[in-house]
Every structure is written in C-alpha cells, then in structure tokens.
Amino acid sequence: MRTNKRFALLVSVLFFSFSILAQKSTLSYTVKMDNPEWHFFHVALSCKGIKKDFIDFKMPVWTPGYYQKLDFAKNLQQFKATDATGKELKWEKEGDNVWRVYSKNSDINLSYEIKTERPFVATPYVDETRAYILPAGVFLYIDKMIDHPVEIKVIPDEKWNRVATGLDSIAGKKFTYTAADFDILYDSPILVGNLEELAPFYIRGIKHRFIGYKLGDFDKEQFIVDLKRIVDAAVNVIGHIPYKSYTFIAIGPGPGGIEHLNNTTFGFNGTNFKNRETYVRTLHFLAHEYFHHYNVKRIRPIELGPFDYDKGSRTKMLWVSEGLSVYYEYMIVRRAGISTDAELLNAFRGNIVAFESKPGKRYQTLEQASYETWSDGPFGRTGDEVNKTISYYDKGPAVGMLFDFKIRQVTNNKRSLDDVMRFLYKEYYQKQKRGFTEEELRAAFENIAGTSMTDEYAYVTTTKEIDYPKYFTYAGLKIDTTTKILPAAYAGFTLRQKEDSVFIAAVDYESPAWNAGLRRGQLVQKINGEKASADLLNKTISAASPGNTISLTLYINDETKNVDIILDRKKDRPFIIATMGDPDPLQKQILESWLKG
Ligand SMILES: [Zn+2]
C-alpha cells in the first residue's frame, strides 16, 4: 500500500512538473500579407519554452477532407531560424517536409515565406483582392507535438477589414485566434479581405453565419431563409448540434468545398441563382458540406483521426463519408421543402447514369474506389485508365438509396438509414469518442435492419450489377433500366481544337472509335480527306448512317496513320425514376416518410 502511495505521489509530482512545462511552452504565429499582388504569405513563429537540442518543424503533406498529396512544403521559401538573442541558428532539411533546427535549448524564432499559386479550396492563396490561409499549407507543426496549443495573429493587408474563420478569437486582441491543438488549426482555414456577411440565423439557439468574398448579386434574404431550412433539416437527421457556432465561408467563385468541425470553406458564386437548376445544385452542395460536420468529421471511419499528416490517412469507407453525404445532400434539400420530388429523383438519376455509363463499374468496387482515391484522384483515374475506376460520389448515393429502402422494407418502415447515422453518432462519436471499423459499420447496418445485409453489401465489396428495380419497388418507385438503341449513327469520340491543331478530347469505352484504336490526346489531321475540325466531325456523323465508314488521318509518334471507323448505333439506358401508379400501403408509407424525413 505504501509503495502504491509513494508511486501515486511520484506520479502526481511528475504530472505537476509536466503541466508546468506544458504551460510554459508557447507557440505563436504571425502571418502577414503585405504586397499581396506578389502572392506570398510572410510567416513568423515564436516558439518558447521547448528545451531540446534540436526541433523538427514539419509541413503536412495533405489537408484533411481533400484526399490527395499536395506537397505544400515545396512552396516554403526563405526559411530562417534565430535564437532568443537574434543569433542565427543552424538548420537543415531532414526530408521533403521537415526542417531540423539546432536550437540547443534556446527559444526559437522562425520566419519563412509561402508562395501561393492558384485560388483553390485546398491550397493557400493570396492576391490583391483577398487572402485564403489554408493552415496545413502555411503553418509548420513540431514533430510529435500536434497536441500543442497554438496562437495565430493575422495582419491583414491595409486595404482589408475582415477576417473569417472557425477559430476562437482571443478577447481584446485584434485578429488573434487560438487553437487547442494543430488538428483544430488545420481544420480552420482563414479568409481575409473586404468580406460580406449575410444576416445570421439561429437553429436550436445556436448561431450560424454566412460570410465571404465576392458573393455575387442574388436574393440574399431568400437564400438565408433556404439555408436555414437546410441546416434545420440536417440537424433533424441526427438530433443534436455539437458546436458552439457555425460559419459558412465562401472563398470566391470557383469549384470545390472542404468540410470542417464548425465551418466549411467553399467556392461560391451567387450570380446565376436565377437559374433554378444552378440554385438547387448550389444548395445541394452546401447541404453536402454542412452535413459533413456530422458525416466524416464526427461520424467517421476509424482511419480518419488522428490524421497522419506525413503519409495521408487511407480508408475503405469514403463511400460512407462522401457517398452518403451526397445521398443526404439531396434528402436534406428535399426535406427542407426546397426541391421537388422530381428534382430529387432526377438528382439520383444523374448519379446512376454517370455510374452505369462508365466501364469502371466492372473493374472497381466502392471500397477500392475509397482506398485508391489517393492515387486515382477524387474523381477516378484519367487517360485510358479512367475506364477502370468509378467515383464514390456516383455509386455511393445510389447504394445509400438501396440500403435505406432495404432497412425501411424489412422493418416495416420503423427504421431507416437515419437510424444508422444516429447510432454511429451516439455510439462512436459521443460515447466512445472514436471512429468505427468496417466490422462495426456493417454491424450497425445489420442490427438496425434486424437482418443480414449480405446482398446489399455486395454492392460495396464487389462489382455485382445493381438490381435497382428490386429496391426501388420497396418505396413504390420504378426505374427504367432497359437498353434503348438510338437510331442515329454513332462513332463514340469528340474533338478539341487547340490553336491550329485538333485533338481527340474523349473516347467512349468500347465504342466504334475505341475499337478502332482511337485514344484521348491523339492528333487528328483529316476526316474523310478534309481538314479536321469538331464541326466537320459532327456534320459527317449527322449525315452518315450506321454501317457507314469514316476515315481519319491521325498523326501519332511522328507518323501519319489512317484509321477507318465503322459507325454503329448508340446503346442508351435512361434510368428514369418515377412513382408507381398503385403502391400498396407499406410502399406508400415508405415513400412518404422517405421524402419528408
Ligand atoms: Zn464531400
């Protein structure tokens, strides 16, 4: 007993000294952006109280949410390290993303510049109009000290007056923020400029803001009414709000969005909102990014936290994190009362057509697409290999639909996919404070369904052809999966003009053009003996009949080559989704509750 007591005393003394040490060390960044037209961030770090012979400062190789290596370290320049007296310290590169500073127990001041290249949601960028600080590409962390708190002071260019970020600000210090650790910092981009903020709204008493650069001209009042309905519908799926406030940060026109714990940053342009399709598509996109604060940030595969900033974090479950977020973006906008039933069904149809029309469905499973995205790219491989991959953004929502209908059918519409999401949130995020394994995910589906889901899981783990009608019937829906043979002549390729040359832009897999050996990027000189152009190709094919031949002159590897293509008819599967005329009571009930939530 005594030994134990003494041990406990020792532990508490040690703990006490560690906490004093921990309290003593501080990391404070200052980031400046003067002369923004030169596209540089000027970064300074004051690192105090970490007494070591040397310290390894590291730049992440990726930013969570964008599953690609981005090599941020290559844009770091003018690295300089000094001690507390201003004397320069020796440093050397220990790897592509590691700067080793021989600090010899002194405090350290670092300074460096980050060169920025293009405005994109997953890369830092600054120009004379605004600055987007993507933290994983700007701030170095100390090896094995990801958990260290950090302070960030932003010094905007003198023309700018606003900063938007999900970070907590420090009272009394202008544009100064704090993060409990580097995971929080890397999860909290910072937008600086003359920003516009729309009227905030409250859901369950919690504040939601929308702020951004160059939002465009649109009906902002109506937009906020709709966004509020969307957040409300998303919150109703899970039934709990885990953050103190939430900020939508629009970084300017352009594609892409990244989800974070209490904010999302995304490309945005409200100018074309008068077009209904554009408006609904944008709302789907925002619902997607918003729903991610549940699905992937909190309801997450076990591999996605703690993150591996050196190698990236691979998981076979992005079909849940991304695919089911697409599923929910449509459901949320419908349940918010904004999209119509026809718009909802048409959105799913879009994904089904995209998935079914690509040959990758015969080669790659959903799990493989998730795991291989690091090498394939978020939308699958390019070039010839594009045919061997699928996108989890397309197959994921289709599979989500089947899973939901299956659960509803076997439980007499007492349970649904929403119950699975709520269970994962409560059990793994709230209770166990971790991600789930593949086995736990499957058990969650099967426990809530109360039955085996082997048949449905085959759509995740194999390339089995999807039996849409079987599942759509459960919800009183029908889908046209028949193959139509279109009457017009079909070659299966398109051309692209680049300066004086004409290249093959795309070739449909196993089309007449593909079978004749045409591939993307080949240079086309002549079509039936005349100078090639996209116009001429269209005219030639419109005038031809199936069975006719067109002759191309290609220029490949410094040689001219003639290729004949025998035109055929195109096969097409429309996948139109519609409601059944005479649903039985259960089908009717499933459809109604599915649409309304
Ligand atoms: Zn996403």
Say how many Å lie between the CA of residue 321 and the centre of ligand 1.
7
- What is the reported pTM? 0.90
* Residue-level pLDDT at 377: 66
Q: Name which residue leads in pLDDT, 392 or 21.
A: 392
Say how many Å lie between the CA of residue 221 and the centre of ligand 1.
26
CA distance 597 to 592: 8
Token match 């702020």: residue?
211
Answer yes or no: is pLDDT of 522 > 80.
yes
Query: Which residues are found with C-beta within 5 Å of the ion, ligand 1?
Result: 322
Say how many Å lie between the CA of residue 563 and the centre of ligand 1.
42
370-381 pLDDT, tens per residue?
999 887 665 566
Q: Which of 385, 421, 411 is nearest to 590 (CA)?
A: 411
Say how many Å lie between the CA of residue 275 and the centre of ligand 1.
24
477-489 pLDDT, tens per residue?
999 999 999 999 9
31-45 pLDDT, tens per residue?
999 999 999 999 999
Q: Please state whether beta strands 150-155 and 26-32 pair in parallel, antiparallel, or not at all (unpaired).
A: parallel
User: Is 233 within 8 Å of 332 (Cβ atoms)?
Assistant: yes
Say how many Å lie between the CA of residue 149 and the centre of ligand 1.
28
Query: How many beta carbons lie within 10 A of that of residue 1, not counting itself?
Result: 5
pLDDT band per the 50, 70, 90 thresholds, residue 387: confident
* Residue-level pLDDT at 164: 98
Say how many Å lie between the CA of residue 555 and the centre of ligand 1.
41
pLDDT band per the 50, 70, 90 thresholds, residue 270: very high
Say how many Å lie between the CA of residue 35 and the centre of ligand 1.
34
Answer yes or no: is pLDDT of 532 > 60.
yes
Say how many Å lie between the CA of residue 285 and the centre of ligand 1.
9
466-475 pLDDT, tens per residue?
999 999 999 9
Q: What is the DSSP letter of 361?
A: G
Burial of 95 (0-12, 13-18, 19+ CB in 10 A): exposed
Answer yes or no: is pLDDT of 384 > 70.
no
Say how many Å lie between the CA of residue 349 and the centre of ligand 1.
19
Say how many Å lie between the CA of residue 260 and the centre of ligand 1.
11
Contacts of 457 (CB under 8 A, 6+ apart): 442, 445
* Residue-level pLDDT at 424: 98
